[in-house]
Structure 1
Amino acid sequence: MTTNTPKASLLPSVLVFAASDPSSGAGIQADIMTLASLGCHPLTALTAITVQDTVGVQSVHPLSAELLEQQARTVLEDMPVAAFKIGVLASLENVLAVAEIVGDYPEIPLIFDPVLASGRGDEFSDEEIITAMREMLLPQTTLLTPNAPEARRLAENPDDENEPSIEVCAQRLIEMGAQYVLITGTHENTPQVVNTLYGAEGIIRRDDWERLPGSYHGSGCTLASAIAGCIAGGASVEDAVRDAQDYTWQTLANPLRPGMGQFIPDRFFWARSEEEPEDAPKAGDAV
């Protein structure tokens, strides 16, 4: 007699540390949908509860570091994890708690999306939190995925007389400990969106994407989670960055607008196409 292997045991699990977003445009809900779309099993450790919609953030309420740690360690003791993904941490105590948790699992790749503010500009991190990120999390980060303003803020130096270039920011962030840095150009004033992946030796790849009209809520969460999912599925960092960008652009080119504010990426765009379901993207596969 043969028995079927439960499907859940065949899916790579990704543990996400992030805040909730009741609109499901960004935050831990966006992470869950992205990872599920790519054939991963999402695990979650909630860092904060936010009050927000597609227009903006009204308030952020960090959870205690003790409760955050209990969530993460409980699932880590129960299931194998193939990758970590970090989003909004919302308090200094939570930065320190997450740094301690991931420090106990140095063999697990860590994708860190340093969400310092919402797309509208609502602040999530003060200078004390940013300093702790630099000192405690960057040295443990496999891949850092800031947009250009976040990269400049993380890499700023009091001796700077002028705004540092993106290349200088990437070099500084790698010197702080990140193995790779993917700086996205969504906030730059360029005809196309230019995303650049840096390593210790400099530029690894540069990708140009059509700049789509409109404003999007959750594109950064989608990209970072897609990279985590691809790495969990066995892809190299460079291949994961390539495939995750393609997936994310497709979610933005097929957006949803359920509210009165920004567009939301459709993480299950492929399920609403005319193609057969077996054409759905899988972790580690090119879209």
Structure 2
Amino acid sequence: MDYFLTIAASDSSSGAGVQQDIKVANSLGFWPLSSLTGITVQNFSKVYHVEPVNHLLLEQQIVTCLESYDIKAIKIGAICSIQNISIIAKCLKIISNRIIVLDPVLFSSDQTPLLKGGQRELIENLFPLTTLVTPNKLEFELLANQKVNSLDEAIEIAKIKSHEWNTSILLKGGHYDSIMINEALVTKENVYRFERERKKFTYTHGTGCTISTAIACFLGKNKSFREAYLLSSRYLTRTYEKLTNL
């Protein structure tokens, strides 16, 4: 049995967060484990409340999962408090050779803050432990502390940041102005560029959670960065086309 761990917040609509991570990982052949960082009250369009989980309770959840199961891949989503960043880093420092994908969720889609501040703590404490981080345009600008006007500009900055942050970076392209969705995966050695059709789904809640979890799962199946991205992109499209047709 292959085990997958999501460290993220719950979503009462079950369209994003831990609930969506569990659905994705299960559909890709993993037994999903979870450690809650927070509890959110939300529907498909709005977040009403965010309550961080006590840091000691979060630590107990993560440690129990790590000690009990041979986990192939870990995905980190919304963390909800700066103190929880330190707890996650403390727990993950004791393991090695694991796939860790961090989706640095700073805001919900309605721009509700899911982590107030904490960019420096993320970069210093968690980024060096990860295999890949997956920021959208706004998140990358906040983390890099630079305004970016195009994906090409973001790639040049990411080439530097991949060394400073000691991780690889997937620059998600949904928020850039372009007919097609253009994205890039920047490692310390290479830049992989991708282009896909910009589809108009009637339901889009949880797309960021879906693709970051799928990438973690495919990397956990020993796929290359390029293969994991392409498989995850196709998975995302199929999943949301089905939801649109419901």
Q: TM-score, normalised by structure 2?
A: 0.93
2:184 equivalent to 1:196 = yes
SS at match of 2:106: coil
Q: 2:215 aligns with which of 204, 224, 227?
A: 227
Structure 1 window deviating more from structure 2 (195-204 vs 239-248): it is 195-204
Equivalence for 1:131? 120
C-alpha distance 67-194 of structure 1, shift in aligned 2 (>3 A): same
Equivalence for 2:133? 144
Equivalence for 2:90? 100
2:201 equivalent to 1:245 = no
Q: Greater Rg, structure 1 or structure 2?
A: 1
Supply the distance in 1 between the matched residues of 2:123 and 2:41 (Cα, whole angstroms): 27
Q: 1:47 aligns with which of 33, 37, 48?
A: 37
Q: How far off its partner does 1:222 sit?
A: 0.2
Equivalence for 2:19? 29
| Equivalent residues of 1:106, 1:140 under 8 A apart | no
Deviations 1:37-86 (A, max 9, x none): 11111110000000111121001000011100101111211110111110
Equivalence for 1:168? 156
Supply the distance in 2 between the matched residues of 1:245 and 1:119 (Cα, whole angstroms): 19
What is the aligned-residue identity percentage? 32
Equivalence for 2:144? 155
SS at match of 1:254: helix
Q: How far off its partner does 1:210 sit?
A: 2.9
Q: Which amino acid aligns with 2:175?
A: H
2:211 equivalent to 1:208 = no
Equivalence for 2:242? 254
Equivalence for 1:273? none
Q: Which amino acid aligns with 1:111?
A: V
Supply the distance in 2 between the matched residues of 1:100 and 1:213 (Cα, whole angstroms): 39
- 5+ unaligned residues in a row in structure 2: which ranges? none
Q: Which amino acid aligns with 2:220?
A: A
Equivalence for 1:180? 168
SS at match of 1:210: coil
Q: How many residues align?
A: 244
Q: TM-score, normalised by structure 1?
A: 0.80
| Equivalent residues of 1:113, 1:144 under 8 A apart | yes
- 5+ unaligned residues in a row in structure 1: which ranges? 1-10, 259-287
Structure 1 window deviating more from structure 2 (247-256 vs 45-54): it is 247-256
Q: Which amino acid aligns with 1:86?
A: I
SS at match of 2:243: coil
SS at match of 1:194: strand
Supply the distance in 2 between the matched residues of 1:197 and 1:150 (Cα, whole angstroms): 15
Aligned positions of 1:265-280 closer than 5 A: none
Structure 1 window deviating more from structure 2 (41-50 vs 164-173): it is 164-173
Supply the distance in 2 between the matched residues of 1:168 and 1:111 (Cα, whole angstroms): 22
Equivalence for 2:70? 80
Q: Which amino acid aligns with 1:99?
A: A
| Equivalent residues of 1:145, 1:184 under 8 A apart | yes
Q: How far off its partner does 1:187 sit?
A: 1.3
Aligned positions of 1:49-64 closer than 5 A: 49-64=39-54
Deviations 1:229-274 (A, max 9, x none): 112222122211111111011112222599xxxxxxxxxxxxxxxx
